[in-house]
């Protein structure tokens, strides 16, 4: 179904797999599928290379663009696995709908993933933490600077080899002025514009010694929502709490997997609004045990401390944290080293 | 200061200036200026043509992109004029700051505009309503899919000949569910992502027979803010009302020019929050005389009717509307046919 144009050369021998910076190196091939004349054309896998676009292409002017993040894993027997890819497929189409981008066909998505991964299998290294990060994305390519939905798009998948993601200790600041998303806006979508809008406020908190922001609701800044590239969990005593998804918060695949694992393992989990006040009170009473983020790139990212207004709090360093429990559980499923009770693994063959 | 590479050919003879669709035809040249190694490089004017970008360029994934809209006008003596270009220059840098994009130097901006317009002067046709629409924009070009501000950008200006913008009678729907911007968000910036996010809700109201949305505040949907590509004015009796700018509402150049002209002409103008309720009550009491939008592309766009929830209202057709008064005043200044008391015109020479 898919057309494959193989690259005559490979960059793999020039790639240092022991020293990968996240999202910087790309494999030899990419998938490209154009939408025009009212339908998605035949997908093509071809050598990775630059896109040629008119300077008036809608994506440059009106941010009509969405994406996904996924990973492929190689197990000890060289089998290749994806983790809940149907979730990513469904979500990119939910994102597309909100951005007025036409839905992408399911068979194209899975066929492209499988063929691309078979071609790039040597780029997926074995070993806990190694993976091939996959970036499906859609951009509006139609030329013309009138502010309306484009009639031409490109759906692409590019692949980047990744090692375990460790960015040092992460301290987060609770947002009290800036916001990520409005009620009735596009916060639930993986819309390109949601990310660029976070860079400036994040740079401001970096100057204060934090690495990321935990976004609060735009109306009151009293409720903790998500971290922009991660959903956020709070552990107070032995209870785990995370905000419910809504039209401001991304419905994270790792988030919902953590919730399922918590339930399976009889960890008390509450999905409800989390107030800034209760988290600060818990920290002051030494009941706040952990904060961690969840996301495809990071899997589970423990938070070492947080700030709110002028106050800074450090979190305890636990021997048996929920963060490490879930990270281990998730990765064992992802790498085919544990039973897959939920049917989350998808073998690429 | 600027390098000029002239196009060996011109498309001008193949362009039908009597039948221009807004934003579809571009002139022979464009301005391109790259940011790398921590500074803006030498600007270049060169033949209009496609951009070659890595598929991982930040603009495709994280919407780090801002733009401006301006027009150049030709008067009866073939002099070329811009309208308040300093406002556009200041605003693109305010937008850039919010999107973590480096500020563009003022001398580059004005030098590029002047040289580009001198080169493209034949594309600017005389006559009320004819203009050359200018689209300065900045995109993050650095390759790599890590979610942080890019270190490489492109500042560009492309030019599109335009006729008087008339899109038929415009009816608008007041938003009651979807939102354009959050408090603490990027609504005040001309960020690319603000526009793509409006297409889907706008398509929904088009199915109900409206052409545009008037966005309301995301918290309560009780206050009328802006129309996405236009600021909005309401005339109740002889009083004109428009919302104050804030971090959700674009600080429109045409908006502030209308306010100045209203004050100069002793038209009673209030800059304050406008509630949905007062507009509906005024419509029901036959006191709502006009609604009109203001923006660079449209100048002044009268609204023929509006909808709120299940109700629809038609506006009276006035002989001497404020809309036509301001449009005439503005255009006479723009085309050098009236005294320029405010010093808004900028001669390109």
pLDDT tens profile A44-68 = 999 999 999 999 999 999 999 999 9
Residues 6+ apart with CB under 8 A from A115: A2, A4, A31, A45
CB contact under 8 A, B179 and A191: no
Q: Answer whether residue A166 shows pLDDT above 80.
A: no
Query: Is A11 within 8 Å of chain B by CB?
Result: no
Best residue in B103, B132, B145 to probe A by mutation, most A CBs within 10 Å? Answer: B145
Question: CA nearest A336: which of A348, A320, A319, A321?
Answer: A348
CB contact under 8 A, A202 and B56: no
pLDDT, tens only, A133-155: 999 999 999 999 999 999 999 99
Give start and end residues of each alpha helix (H) in B218-345: 253-264, 276-284, 322-334
Chain B closest CA to A176's CA: distance in Å?
9
CB contact under 8 A, A179 and B177: no
pLDDT of residue B170: 95
Question: CA nearest A255: which of A96, A113, A87, A131?
Answer: A87
Query: Is B93 within 8 Å of chain A by CB?
Result: no
A 219-258 residues with CB < 8 A to B: 219, 221, 228-229
Note whether A97 and A103 are within 8 A (CB): yes
Confidence grade of residue B265 (pLDDT, cut at 50, 70, 90): very high
pLDDT, tens only, B63-98: 999 999 999 999 999 999 999 999 999 999 999 999
CB contact under 8 A, A218 and B99: no
pLDDT of residue A1: 83
Length of chain B: 349
Q: Closest CB to B146: pick one of A22, A26, A197.
A: A22
Chain B closest CA to A56's CA: distance in Å?
8
Size of the A and B interface in Cβ pairs below 8 Å? 236
> What are the backbone angles phi and psi of residue B327, rounded to the nearest 5°?
-60, -45
A 38-77 residues with CB < 8 A to B: 48-56, 58-65, 67
Give the span between the Cα atoms of A274 and A266, in whole angstroms. 21
Best residue in B65, B173, B182 to probe A by mutation, most A CBs within 10 Å? Answer: B182
A 260-319 residues with CB < 8 A to B: none
Query: Is B129 within 8 Å of chain A by CB?
Result: no
Q: Which residue of A has its CA nearest to B31?
A: A55
Q: Which residue of B has its CA nearest to A22?
A: B146
Q: Closest CB to B144: pick one of A24, A64, A100.
A: A24
User: Chain B partners of A229 at a C-beta cutoff of 8 Å?
Assistant: 147
Element holding B33 (H helix, E strand): strand B29-36
pLDDT of residue B1: 83
Q: Answer whether residue A178 shows pLDDT above 90.
A: yes
Mean pLDDT of B299-320: 96
pLDDT, tens only, A314-323: 999 999 999 9
Give the span between the Cα atoms of A147 and A136, in whole angstroms. 25
Range with the poorest average pLDDT among A159-168, B105-114, B115-124, B228-237: A159-168
CB contact under 8 A, B185 and A184: no
Mean pLDDT of A182-210: 97
pLDDT of residue B160: 98
Q: Answer whether residue A132 shows pLDDT above 80.
A: yes
pLDDT of residue A228: 87
CB contact under 8 A, A58 and B197: no
Domain boundaries, chain B: 3-162, 170-334
Confidence grade of residue A253 (pLDDT, cut at 50, 70, 90): very high
Confidence grade of residue A42 (pLDDT, cut at 50, 70, 90): very high
User: Chain B partners of A158 at a C-beta cutoff of 8 Å?
Assistant: 55-56, 145
CB contact under 8 A, A178 and B158: no
Q: Answer whether residue A271 shows pLDDT above 90.
A: yes
> What are the backbone angles phi and psi of residue B4, rounded to the nearest 5°?
-120, 120
Mean pLDDT of B217-225: 96
Question: CA nearest B304: which of B294, B293, B317, B321?
Answer: B317
Chain B closest CA to A111's CA: distance in Å?
20
**Chain centroid, CA B235 distance in Å:** 22
Confidence grade of residue B4 (pLDDT, cut at 50, 70, 90): very high
* The domain defined by A3-162 carries CATH number 3.40.50.300: no
CATH of domain A170-334: 3.20.10.10
B3-162 with B170-334: one CATH topology?
A: no
pLDDT of residue A215: 98
CB contact under 8 A, B52 and A55: no
CB contact under 8 A, A203 and B149: yes
Q: Which residue of A has its CA nearest to B216?
A: A184
Strand pairing of B51-53 and A51-53? Answer: antiparallel
Mean pLDDT of B187-212: 97
């Amino acid at each position: 179904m898919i057309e494959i144009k193989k690259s005559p050369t490979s960059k793999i021998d020039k790639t240092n797999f022991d020293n990968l910076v996240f999202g910087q190196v790309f494999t030899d091939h990419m998938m490209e599928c154009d939408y025009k004349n009212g339908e998605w054309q035949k997908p093509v896998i071809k050598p990775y290379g630059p896109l040629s676009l008119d300077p008036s292409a809608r994506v440059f002017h009106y941010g009509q663009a969405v994406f996904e993040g996924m990973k492929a894993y190689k197990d000890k027997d060289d089998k290749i696995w994806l983790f809940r890819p149907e979730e990513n497929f469904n979500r990119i189409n939910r994102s597309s709908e909100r951005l007025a981008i036409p839905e992408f066909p399911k068979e194209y998505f899975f066929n492209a993933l499988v063929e691309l991964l078979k071609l790039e299998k040597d780029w997926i290294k074995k070993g806990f933490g190694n993976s091939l990060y996959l970036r499906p994305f859609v951009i509006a390519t139609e030329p013309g600077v009138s502010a309306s939905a484009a009639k031409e798009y490109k759906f692409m998948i590019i692949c980047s080899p990744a090692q375990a993601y460790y960015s040092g200790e992460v301290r987060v600041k609770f947002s009290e002025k800036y916001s990520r998303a409005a009620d009735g806006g596009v916060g639930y979508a993986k819309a390109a514009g949601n990310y660029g809008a976070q860079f400036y406020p994040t740079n401001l908190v970096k100057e204060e010694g934090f690495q990321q922001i935990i976004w609060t609701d735009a109306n009151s800044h009293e409720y903790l929502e998500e971290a922009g590239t991660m959903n956020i969990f709070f552990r107070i005593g032995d209870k785990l709490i995370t905000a419910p998804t809504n039209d401001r918060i991304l419905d994270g695949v790792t988030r919902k997997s953590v919730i399922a694992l918590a339930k399976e393992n009889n960890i008390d989990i509450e999905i409800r609004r989390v107030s800034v006040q209760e988290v600060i009170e818990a920290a002051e009473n030494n009941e706040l045990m952990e904060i961690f983020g969840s996301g495809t790139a990071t899997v589970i990212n423990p938070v070492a401390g947080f700030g709110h207004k002028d106050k800074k709090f450090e979190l305890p360093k636990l021997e048996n944290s929920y963060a490490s429990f879930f990270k281990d559980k998730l990765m064992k499923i992802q790498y085919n080293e544990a039973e897959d009770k939920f049917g989350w693994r998808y073998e690429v063959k």
